[in-house]
Structure 1
Amino acid sequence: MRDNDLQRLCRDASALDIPPASRRGSRLSPKGSALSERSSGSSETAGRAGGKVAREGSTGVLYVHKLGRQHFAYLRSIGEGLDMHEAASRYLGVEHGHSTLAAHRQVVDKLRGLCRRGGKKDWRLIGLAIRSGTVSEAPPLEEWAEANNLSDWRYEELLPMYQEAFPPDRKEKRNARLRERQIALLKELESQAEQKPQPTDLISGWFDDVTSARLKQSGMLMVGELQAAIARGGRWWSSIPAIGQGKADRIEKYLVTLCGELPKPQGVQRMAEIARSLASSAPMQAINATPTALPSPTLPALPARQPSADLADLEGRWGPNRATPVPSGTSASNDKEAIEAWVRARAGSELTAKSYRREAQRLLFWCETERKKALSSMNVEDCLAYMAFLQFIPPAFISRRGAPRFDIEQGWRPFAGQLSHDSQRQAIVICAAFFAWAVSASYLVANPWVLVNRKTGDKPLELISSRAFTEGAWASVRGFLEAAPPSPTRSRTIFIMDFGEGTGLRAAEMLSTRLDAFQPLRSRWVLKVQGKGSKNRVIAVPSQAVAALNRYLQERKLRPLGEAPPETPLVASAVDDNQGVGYRALYESTKSWFRRAIMASNLEGIERTTAYKASLHWLRHTCGTRALERGVPLAMVQEQLGHKDPRQTMKYSKTQLEALLDGMDKAFKG
């Protein structure tokens, strides 16, 4: 039975800050609420053991919502008189005002159900906004005493007269008692029913159904995965459907309410310091094929080595492996300067310089953040650890797509993704080369890489090249392009396919080529190419490639090969026919055409799955495969493609494997 105070409170409309009970049976959509459930409006069915199972009708997925400290904070704020919409937004993550009432009812029903099952008679106090019945206009005691010339009276004498002059409001006293009971009840329930979010908890247990479903679509199922994604920084929400900057901010704030401040990934602070240092360094001078003489620098004195092991030098200004500079060495005084000096001295092209700098800086990041030591202080154990690290790059070192370079807060990291076998091998070779140069330049005493086995073993066996178009896939793509409406990118893609299949040029070689690189030879054409490592070669341009180029030039409103302006780029921008195109734009455009063509094709099974991965580089593999299949000698194909090792060219040959299959089929017929 209700006590008298509670009966009077429930009859007193001035004590409540929620809609009348007569509206209790109405159903409001819970979309946007961080606690949205399918509420039945019955206290008896509300959450068991602090949780409630709600079914998402569209997908049949079960969500178990849990009681956390945010729910009790919400109810305390309601009891204090905070506006319901503001409280729901702050503590429950409610986005839309129309969802506030539904979220409020779900929380209240859940806790009232717990109270009733526990036999607590004050269960109706849950969710009530208890406020003063009247506003007291009594002045402070000191002001009243001074106004009545009673300042010299003692407090014990003044108090009875003050209370007689300003008697306390009976309703206010009653509400104060009920407020104390409400707070005590919430504290008791919180100690019994509060659940703390764990990294392994399902996101659906703490967020509303709609948000949980969207996060699930992006691959995030557990609270820890969401925490890690947010902690990495950047536009973590960009791949999640229907979540933008505003919604992402609310999710982050709500997650902080649930779990406290998000933990930063290990080493991210130091990574940010390194990134700022590298970003603020002066850009490297342009690298020319012909080196120019530089003035001899004045060598600085080497800082005294620090005897204390506690004073870690992460810049590499001193250390056990640092050598004293000599006039014939480098003027670099720390590891960052040594990397730049090495790139200037050894890189023969901008492309090589980019590769050298990238691998050395990756090693620098890893040393300082993971091993807590300078790059120049690496030893044998560090070299082995880095080789193991390259086999599986942790997520904390993988960059968000599109993040600005060196911007750690926006999610940039040293690695774009997991490394292939060839990329791992190249990284180790480049890092070892830097240490060898540093020893020769008297920057380091010894090279630890010569003391370890740097062999990475054979790459996973490829019986044949899987990155060459089959005849069926080639016909499907060409047919799709021919039927597509005319456009600059369509014309460019058709040209790229025919010219790339006929010449086998790398994408970078195509982009750097102008028409003046073509030379006539007895009514045919050859092309001067500067390939990898700034090495020059002359390749044949077969009639298929010449015809494709002349068609492409005609569509660009230019004269044919030999008559067009010599400075004309081989591959043009879709906006300006006289301007070249960047690699990223060409890659994305070509890959988009390939994917659309394969999706519209009649290819089936593994052929369709494989062809869907096609990219710009596949044209080079297709050239090598077609040439070997049609009887071109291996040495000629090797020279055309610019391979150092004939074994690399042999990857494109299927002849030996097909002969093996024919022989075994004859011996073992089914």
Structure 2
Amino acid sequence: MSDNRQKPRLRKSRKLHLGHIAFMRAVVQGLDTYESWNRYLRLEGEHQDRKLVNRTVQWIRDEFAAAAKRHARPGTARLVGIDAQKSETRQAKIPTLEEFANDNDLADFSEAEQLEHFIARYGRQSTRQTRRSQLIAKQLAALDWLERLVVEPPKADDLIDAWLHPDLAAHLKSVDIRTLKQLADRINGLGHHWSNGVPAIGKNKADRIVDWLNLHATSTGLSIGKHVGIPRKRLDRHSLAGIVAPTTAVVPLDKLIIPAELDGSEGDCRLPQAQCRMAAQNDRDAIACWVRSKSRHEVGPRALSEESEAVDTPISILLSRPMTNTQRAYWKEAERFMLWAVLVRKRALSSMNPQDCEAYVAFLANPVPLRQWCGPRSRERWSPLWRPFEGPLSQSACRQAVVILKNLYRYMEENRYLANNPWHDIRLPKNEIAVVKSRSFTTAQWAFLEQRLHELPDTSAHRRLRVALYLFYETGMPLKEALDARVGHLRVVAQGSANQVDAYSPAASRAEHHLEGVRDVIAISSRLGEELSGYLVSRGFHPDLAHPSNRHVHVLGKATDIIKRAPWSPERLRRPDPAAGISANTLYLQVKTFLKNCAQAIAPMDPDTAKQFTAASSHWLRRTQAAQHPKGQEREAID
């Protein structure tokens, strides 16, 4: 295969920028081009690749010559095509006077006669130097003229083909990056390892692209954040907060700049502020108050410490604390609706009417334009690539969105924020046929799960699983709260006491008592208390749940026997902090694996139950507690 096929010539569709001019000035003057290449054209590749450098220089000269011809300056076209370096090389081959005399049988002539013949053949040295200086001066003047004529500053919406090497452009287009703005958004949106997933672009090429964008930031208006040069794990929440500037566009709701006429302070359906029963001056505050109302109590570090510094608005209060899964689900749907209302309908949330609501239901099934509204789930909220949707919603997801928005407006109406509810008469989208009719376990199914649970080998991870399943079943606690819970949050209610409860009774989870330094305490049965006590001992802690040393210990901790089960694990995993908690993914996968194994065990005897176990998750245990004890605590949750 020829070299031209392996490395295609630079396409004529590419544009010239100031870097090309600066580099060619160095070439014309015979300077060392290494520094100029690395400063202005390093994006093209390595300076050590002489073929690449020569092709690039020739392409620039061809573009210069073509521009000169288009403007009827053939002399300039020929001038920029002269390679001063090759001319210098030819001049360097001129022999010395002695070599000239020997080669031309002039050794017996006088030096004056030899010099006369030499000048007749090659001319005077000063004349040659003068001619070369004049050539360089003319070429530099031609470059100045061409700079004003053909050089263009890059713009944000320019296609990457216009500025990047064809090979780089092809690789970027394979992941749907077509403009400089899309390229900058990906870099800022993914950070340090932004090139992961882009074929044939490693760290060196990625760094060159970032350097080039920084070099042309003035003309493009595309700023590459400092976070791009720092590994993601070293960036905290405050470092990421400023990456997306507040704006009136599709951004997270806390970054949305809402025009004063659309913020809801004077909404069409608003009641007088004096009648409002919640601390909300506008629609965004109303949403924050509603989301906060969806958590009975807070579980986590803030629940065990003093209140943080005072904050002024409902949304700042909400965002200063971790949200439960239920709260995040409610926030997501309200955020989507408010973005659509402000950006598409140009109406405040408190000015929406039934026609707006019907239009939004249709939008959920087809959120266009897709690039503006939809993006991968993996894009975090700090990222410019974040979008509120992944794509069109299914019927069941649309139905859930409508249910949540009905709840939002009912809350605002009941708290005298709104005079009426535009969602009241909106019919729910038809639900898809569910494969599983119930999302809770029967008494027999729970008994089978308990049996299998106690047949598991006695490992640290299995002890944690037993505590977790009983905790879900007994308290109805959401996954997020269970992961954040500390031992200091739990209080065993002994049988025979004034607050006597049966094992696994939901009354235990309803009981709330005040302990010093802890705002909300969840009562548990003695059975779960014994299970947790043994689990604490296996992690090296005191068996008494009320012991001061256990106060800040996570109820669900990392496996302490991993050094025996997986000695090949990294040191940081082999010696975990016994008081630390675990990730949601770790617990979710462990619960799903256990339920899947239970499904396989019961499938030969009861295929229907096997289907239930396969589809189940930790949320089913919460519903099981409510289903088996209908008078127990009612917790709002998203199915």
TM-score (norm 2): 0.52
Q: For 2:358, what is the secondary structure of its paired residue? A: helix
Q: How does 1:191-340 map to 2 (within 5 A)?
A: 206-207=164-165, 209=167, 220-224=175-179, 227=182, 230=185, 233-236=188-191, 238=193, 240-241=195-196, 248=206, 250-252=208-210, 254=212, 261=220, 269-271=247-249, 313-327=261-275, 329-330=277-278, 332-340=280-288
Residue number in structure 1 paired with 2:635: none
Matched, 1:572 2:557: yes
Separation (CA, whole Å) in 1 of partners of 2:607 and 2:486: 25
Q: How does 1:148-547 map to 2 (within 5 A)?
A: 172-180=133-141, 206-207=164-165, 209=167, 220-224=175-179, 227=182, 230=185, 233-236=188-191, 238=193, 240-241=195-196, 248=206, 250-252=208-210, 254=212, 261=220, 269-271=247-249, 313-327=261-275, 329-330=277-278, 332-343=280-291, 348-350=296-298, 351=324, 352-391=326-365, 394=370, 396=372, 407=382, 423-453=397-427, 455-459=428-432, 461-462=434-435, 491-497=459-465, 505=473, 507-508=479-480, 510-511=482-483, 512=485, 516-517=491-492, 526-528=503-505
Query: What residue identity is the alignment partner of 1:435?
Result: Y
Structure 2: tracts of 5 or more residues without a match: 89-128, 224-242, 299-323, 442-448, 513-520, 560-574, 628-639
Query: What residue identity is the alignment partner of 1:436?
Result: R
Separation (CA, whole Å) in 1 of partners of 2:596 and 2:523: 19
Separation (CA, whole Å) in 2 of partners of 1:201 and 1:465: 53
**CA-CA distance at 1:184 after TM superposition:** 6.9
Query: What residue identity is the alignment partner of 1:233?
Result: N
Separation (CA, whole Å) in 2 of partners of 1:446 and 1:130: 86
CA separation of 1:268/1:262 partners in 2, compared to 1, >3 Å: closer, same or farther? farther
The answer to whether the Cα contact below 8 Å between 2:250 and 2:387 also exists between their aligned partners in 1 is: no
Deviations 1:352-387 (A, max 9, x none): 555444433443333333433322222334323433
Residue number in structure 2 paired with 1:54: 6
CA separation of 1:569/1:180 partners in 2, compared to 1, >3 Å: closer, same or farther? closer
Separation (CA, whole Å) in 2 of partners of 1:378 and 1:98: 61
CA separation of 1:354/1:445 partners in 2, compared to 1, >3 Å: closer, same or farther? same
Give me the identity figure in percent.
Answer: 22
Q: For 2:262, what is the secondary structure of its paired residue? A: coil
Deviations 1:395-417 (A, max 9, x none): 55568889886x466x5665689
**CA-CA distance at 1:230 after TM superposition:** 1.7
The answer to whether the Cα contact below 8 Å between 2:280 and 2:286 also exists between their aligned partners in 1 is: yes
The answer to whether the Cα contact below 8 Å between 1:349 and 1:533 also exists between their aligned partners in 2 is: no
Residue number in structure 1 paired with 2:25: 79
CA separation of 1:628/1:563 partners in 2, compared to 1, >3 Å: closer, same or farther? farther
CA separation of 1:68/1:508 partners in 2, compared to 1, >3 Å: closer, same or farther? closer
Separation (CA, whole Å) in 2 of partners of 1:426 and 1:370: 22
CA separation of 1:186/1:414 partners in 2, compared to 1, >3 Å: closer, same or farther? closer
Q: For 1:313, what is the secondary structure of its paired residue? A: helix
Query: What residue identity is the alignment partner of 2:557?
Result: A
Separation (CA, whole Å) in 2 of partners of 1:625 and 1:540: 31
Separation (CA, whole Å) in 1 of partners of 2:481 and 2:246: 38
**CA-CA distance at 1:432 after TM superposition:** 1.9
Separation (CA, whole Å) in 2 of partners of 1:72 and 1:577: 56
**CA-CA distance at 1:465 after TM superposition:** 11
The answer to whether the Cα contact below 8 Å between 1:518 and 1:525 also exists between their aligned partners in 2 is: no
CA separation of 1:365/1:493 partners in 2, compared to 1, >3 Å: closer, same or farther? farther
Query: What residue identity is the alignment partner of 1:176?
Result: A
CA separation of 1:377/1:399 partners in 2, compared to 1, >3 Å: closer, same or farther? same
The answer to whether the Cα contact below 8 Å between 1:390 and 1:424 also exists between their aligned partners in 2 is: yes
**CA-CA distance at 1:206 after TM superposition:** 3.3
Q: How does 1:66-145 map to 2 (within 5 A)?
A: 67-70=13-16, 74-75=20-21, 77-79=23-25, 84-94=33-43, 98-99=47-48, 101-110=50-59, 121-122=78-79, 124-125=81-82
The answer to whether the Cα contact below 8 Å between 2:264 and 2:282 also exists between their aligned partners in 1 is: yes
CA separation of 1:516/1:547 partners in 2, compared to 1, >3 Å: closer, same or farther? closer
Deviations 1:139-172 (A, max 9, x none): xxxxxxxxxxxxxxxxxxxxxxxxxxxxx97654
Specify which of 584, 589, 592 is matched with residue 587 of structure 1. Answer: 584
Separation (CA, whole Å) in 2 of partners of 1:329 and 1:202: 54
Query: What residue identity is the alignment partner of 1:270?
Result: T
Separation (CA, whole Å) in 2 of partners of 1:126 and 1:388: 65
Residue number in structure 1 paired with 2:239: none
Separation (CA, whole Å) in 2 of partners of 1:221 and 1:640: 43
Deviations 1:273-327 (A, max 9, x none): 9756689xxxxxxxxxxxxxxxxxxxxxxxxxxxxxxx86122121333333454
The answer to whether the Cα contact below 8 Å between 2:376 and 2:390 also exists between their aligned partners in 1 is: yes
Deviations 1:232-265 (A, max 9, x none): 8333453534979986564245358899626899
Separation (CA, whole Å) in 2 of partners of 1:549 and 1:130: 87
Q: For 2:504, what is the secondary structure of its paired residue? A: strand
Matched, 1:556 2:530: no
**CA-CA distance at 1:128 after TM superposition:** 6.5
The answer to whether the Cα contact below 8 Å between 1:79 and 1:127 also exists between their aligned partners in 2 is: no
**CA-CA distance at 1:560 after TM superposition:** 7.6
The answer to whether the Cα contact below 8 Å between 1:79 and 1:130 also exists between their aligned partners in 2 is: no
Residue number in structure 1 paired with 2:234: none
Separation (CA, whole Å) in 1 of partners of 2:85 and 2:439: 68
Query: What residue identity is the alignment partner of 1:572?
Result: G
CA separation of 1:342/1:200 partners in 2, compared to 1, >3 Å: closer, same or farther? same
Q: For 1:235, what is the secondary structure of its paired residue? A: helix
Separation (CA, whole Å) in 1 of partners of 2:334 and 2:373: 15
CA separation of 1:563/1:324 partners in 2, compared to 1, >3 Å: closer, same or farther? closer
The answer to whether the Cα contact below 8 Å between 2:491 and 2:524 also exists between their aligned partners in 1 is: no
Residue number in structure 2 paired with 1:59: none
Q: For 2:341, what is the secondary structure of its paired residue? A: helix
Query: What residue identity is the alignment partner of 1:107?
Result: T
Q: Which structure's residues are more often helix, by fraction? A: 2
